[in-house]
Amino acid sequence: MSEQTSVHAAAAAGTIDLGGDLTVNRLGFGAMRVTGTGIWGDPPSRADAVAVLRRAVELGVNFIDTADSYGPDVSEELIAEALHPYADDLVIATKGGLERPGPGEWTSNGDPAHLRRALEGSLRKLRLEQIPLYQFHRPDPNVPFEDSVGALVELKDAGKIRHIGLSNVTEEQLRVAQRLTPVVSIQNRYNVDDRGSESLVDLCEQESIVFLPWAPIQNLDGVTAVEEIAARYGITTRQLVLTWLLARSPAMLPIPGTGSVAHLESNVAAASVALTPAEVATITAATS
């Protein structure tokens, strides 16, 4: 992808509104992979990680998703190092509710006191006075869901959170949260090969909630129908699954992540491909 044609390439995906007052390009960046192995510690090269984050913004990405548990802390600190002071149109979303005992380990903690500490830590590391989108990372089976969400509502009322989102939730949990506060986004695992949240995607579209699919990219080399469509557009199957997500629903805001500038540019290039309804149906059927 040349410098001339790549600038603002993420805008080719169109835009989406978060909470009615934040408009971003509909291809974001997930900042989990700018950390070390096992999403633990520093990346092999902090300079490379900073370069990826800065290149994402150059490519028109203006929605970056992170979490205090990525590193832990490392991802948020790198975002501030690379991008602060932030562009006016850059929306940084982060999450709280998971703790990290070690590399590759994730432990739920929805205790309100923990969430308040996590939020304050994210504000400090990201050098923000208010988090544009703060997401409850995962429900804690040992803490009433209403108590965890209620803590975020209090922080929103205090002006420290602009909008509240949920991650790894069911429709029932969404409805519980909505009785306490507007929910502007859902972040669940969803991709062309794992559509367990299919009904939530449709619900988000109906209710103007943004759906952030995590783990959006799969290697579908060897799936003949997918390979044929990818070859038609001169792209890889990994790029094709991103175009499928964008076509799946206007509520979709994919956030593919990487620690490589080349991989980042490949992901963003997928925003320029518009699949036909027939092609979307073919890809869907081939991976069902």
Instruction: Check which CATH number belongs to the domain holding 158 and give it.
Output: 3.20.20.100
The pLDDT, as a whole number, for residue 1 is 44
Residue 263 in domain: no
The whole-number average pLDDT for the span 35-42 is 97
The pLDDT, as a whole number, for residue 7 is 57
Q: With bands split at pLDDT 50, 70 and 90, how would you rate the model's confidence at 168?
A: very high
Q: With bands split at pLDDT 50, 70 and 90, how would you rate the model's confidence at 287?
A: confident
Quote the CA–CA distance of 245 and 211 in Å, as a whole number: 11
Residue 136 in domain: yes
Question: Any idea of the CA torsion for 63, 67, 72, 78, to the nearest 10 degrees?
Answer: 20
Closest CA to 123 of 66, 208, 44, 59: 66
Radius of gyration of the chain (CA): 18
Is the predicted pLDDT of residue 65 greater than 60, yes or no?
yes
Is the predicted pLDDT of residue 218 greater than 70, yes or no?
yes
The pLDDT, as a whole number, for residue 4 is 36
Is the predicted pLDDT of residue 6 greater than 80, yes or no?
no
Structure tokens at 261: 């500038």
Residue 201 in domain: yes
Mean pLDDT score across all residues of the chain:
95
Quote the CA–CA distance of 206 and 249 in Å, as a whole number: 10
Residue 218 and residue 191 in contact, taking contact as beta carbons nearer than 8 Å: yes
Residue 268 in domain: no
The pLDDT, as a whole number, for residue 60 is 97
Residue 179 in domain: yes
The pLDDT, as a whole number, for residue 110 is 98
pTM over 0.85: yes
For residue 71, the enclosing domain spans 3-218+250-258
Residue 242 in domain: no
The pLDDT, as a whole number, for residue 106 is 97
Quote the CA–CA distance of 136 and 195 in Å, as a whole number: 21
Length of the chain in terms of residues written: 288
Domain count of the fold of the chain? 1
Is the predicted pLDDT of residue 5 greater than 70, yes or no?
no
Quote the CA–CA distance of 258 and 266 in Å, as a whole number: 10
Residue 197 in domain: yes
Question: Active-site residue numbers?
Answer: 70
Over residues 75-97, the pLDDT tens digits come to 999 999 999 999 999 999 999 99
Is the predicted pLDDT of residue 3 greater than 50, yes or no?
no
* DSSP H/E element including 81: helix 74-83
Residue 283 in domain: no
